[in-house]
Structure 1
Amino acid sequence: MHDWLLWLILAAALAGAETLSLDLVLIMCAGGAAAGGVGAAAGLPPAAQVAVAIAGALALLLFVRPVAKRHLTGTDTTLDGTSALVGTNAIVLSTVDAKGGRVRLNGGEWSARSYDETQVIPVGASVQVMQISGATALVWTHTL
Structure 2
Amino acid sequence: MDWLRDHLTETWLALAIVLGITEMIGLDLILLMLAMGALVGMTAAIIGAPFFVQALAAAGASVACLALVRPQLVRRMHAGPELQLGHGKLVGTQGTVTERITGLQTGRIMIGGESWSASPYDDTITIEPGETVEVLEIKGATAYVHPVPRLGT
The TM-score with structure 2 as length reference comes to 0.73
Corresponding residue of 2:39: 34
Give the partner amino acid of 1:9. A
- Cα deviation, 1:84-139, whole Å, max 9, x if unaligned, reads 43233333212224553211223432222233345554433443311123443212
Q: For the residues of structure 2 that align with 1:130 and 1:42, how far apart are their CA atoms?
A: 63
Partner of 1:100: 106
Moved more, 131-140 or 79-88: 79-88
Q: Displacement, 1:61? A: 2.1
Aligned residue type for 1:69: V
Task: Work out whether 1:54 is the aligned partner of 2:31.
Answer: no
1:8-66 CA-to-partner distances (Å, cap 9, x unmatched) read 22212211221222121111111111211222233222211111111221232233223
CA contact (8 A) 2:132 2:148 kept: no
1:88: which partner in 2?
93
Residues 101 and 120 in structure 2, CA contact (< 8 A), matched pair in contact too: yes
- SS of the equivalent of 2:36 reads helix
What is the aligned partner in structure 2 of residue 23 from structure 1? 28
Amino acid at match of 2:57: V
CA distance in 2, matches of 1:124, 1:39: 72
Q: State how far apart, in whole Å, the 2-side matches of 1:116 and 1:95 are.
A: 14
Query: What is the aligned-residue RMSD (CA, Å)?
Result: 2.8
| Structure 1 residue ranges without an equivalent (≥5) | none
Unaligned runs of 5+ in 2: none
Report sequence identity in percent.
Answer: 36
Determine if contact 2:118/2:142 at 8 Å carries over to the other structure: yes
Query: Which deviates more, 26-35 or 72-81?
Result: 72-81
- Report the TM-score, using the length of structure 1 for normalisation: 0.77
The 1:42–1:121 alpha-carbon spacing in structure 2 relative to 1, beyond 3 Å, is closer
- 1:75 is displaced (CA, Å) by 3.8
